[in-house]
Amino acid sequence: MTTSFDFEKPIADLLQQIEKVQQIAEKTKVDMSGTLEELNQQLNTTREQIYSNLTGWQKVQISRHPERPYTLQYIEMMCQDFIELHGDRTVKDDKAIVGGFASIGGQTVMVIGHQKGTNTKLRQFRNFGMANPEGYRKALRLMKLAEKFNKPVITLIDTPGAFPGLEAEERGQGEAIARNLLEMSVLRVPVICVVIGEGASGGALGIGIGDKVLMLEHSWYSVISPENCSAILWRTWDFKERAAECLKLTADDMLKNRLIDGIIPEPLGGAHYNPAMMGGILKERILNELAELKNKDIDTVVTERINKFCAMGVVVE
């Protein structure tokens, strides 16, 4: 692991200690396996402790870890025969949203997701996972294609928001997202959405209307990022930790408020700590959800999807 967080300092310290003991053992040829085992146990306990008591802001940090798996990596880990499809047939191919047909557990699905880059150059190429209208329109085109051939849709959400650019406004960023919300709510195939990292506002929701909306354990989902929330409500970025708490953006809070349908556990230390294991867990969950949805007739699925979103909100009468 190349990047570690402030709150992981006890873990980093232990790792350092273990390395030192190993070096001493090697140099002096003294058997220190007892000490090492003790330290490793301590490491595990510390990791468990830290990762089971994360604050909202700490989860936001984990969700942005540069080594966290992104959509294409998940597709590679979970699927066979992925055929990536490009373009919205109107303007261009948006690199911040990818998608295509693939086979998962022997069945064909349409997988669509935000894509972030894995190095500086690719991060720019992918526009940091911030889609333009043509990204949302490509996603809709692919969903309609899936509907035509009766294949379920799986979306993987990971975006700091829809891109706030000049061309994005010219080409109707608002209309593109709005259209997806409407069309996805009545799409006549099962739809499973998973927030795998950042779920920021309309940019996330634009591919987020599903029969099952799930969140990875350390992902976040809200109307705005904690930094921007802090900037607007407190007029400074200094309140981002506080804003993260206020927004109730963690998977636990979102489930408690019945705004999502479930949480997918991550390996100890986060998805980036063991991507292969994370891919396995996600694949298994998707297959289970698909099996459940396939048992229902599509009219029921769509009606339940609409009713679920229409029940969201709290008012006083």
Partner 1 sequence: MQPYSIEMAWFKRDKKGIITSTQDKKEAPDGIWNKCPQCKKPLHYAEQVENNYVCHYCNFHLRIGSAEYFALLFDNNEYTELYGNLMSADPLNFVDTKKYTERIIDSIAKTGLKDAIRAAHGKIKGQDIVIACMDFNFIGGSMGSVVGEKIARSINYCIENKVPFLLISKSGGARMMEAAFSLMQMAKTAAKLALLSRAKIPYISLLTDPTTGGVTASYAMLGDINIAEPEALIGFAGPRVIKETIKKDLPKGFQTSEFVLEHGFLDFIVDRREMKNRIASFISLMNN
- When binding is defined by CB under 8 A, the residue of 24, 122, 232, 291 that contacts partner 1 is 232
Q: Binding-site residue total for partner 1 (CB under 8 A)?
A: 54
Residue 81 Ramachandran class (φ > 0 left, ψ -120 to 50 alpha, else beta): left
CB 151 → partner 1: shortest distance, Å?
Answer: 21
Q: Does 250 bind partner 1 (CB under 8 A)?
A: no
Query: How far, in Å, are 11, 43, 58, 270 from residue 48 at the CA level?
Result: 10, 9, 15, 11
Task: Quickly list DSSP for 82-149.
Answer: EEE----SSS---TTEEEEEEEETTEEEEEEEE---SSHHHHHHTGGG---HHHHHHHHHHHHHHHHT
Q: How far apart are CA 110 and CA 141, in angstroms?
A: 11
Query: How far, in Å, are 26, 37, 42, 242 from residue 17 at the CA level?
Result: 14, 12, 11, 33
Q: Does 255 bind partner 1 (CB under 8 A)?
A: no
Q: Does 165 bind partner 1 (CB under 8 A)?
A: yes
Contact characters 124-153, partner 1, x per CB under 8 A: ------------------------------
Strand-pair category, 220-222 with 80-84: unpaired
- Site stretch for partner 1 (CB under 8 A), options 74-82, 102-110, 112-120, 220-228: 220-228
- When binding is defined by CB under 8 A, the residue of 110, 139, 205, 281 that contacts partner 1 is 205
- When binding is defined by CB under 8 A, the residue of 144, 267, 277, 309 that contacts partner 1 is 309
Tally the residues of the chain: 317
Select 86 or 179, whichever has its Cβ closest to partner 1: 179
CB 2 → partner 1: shortest distance, Å?
Answer: 28
- When binding is defined by CB under 8 A, the residue of 18, 178, 255, 268 that contacts partner 1 is 178
| CA 39 to the chain's CA centroid | 33
Q: Does 155 bind partner 1 (CB under 8 A)?
A: no
What 3-state DSSP class applies to 250? strand
Residues in touch with partner 1 (CB under 8 A): 161-166, 168-175, 177-179, 181-183, 185-186, 201-202, 205-206, 208-209, 221-224, 228-229, 232-234, 246-249, 254, 257, 259, 305-306, 309-310, 312-317
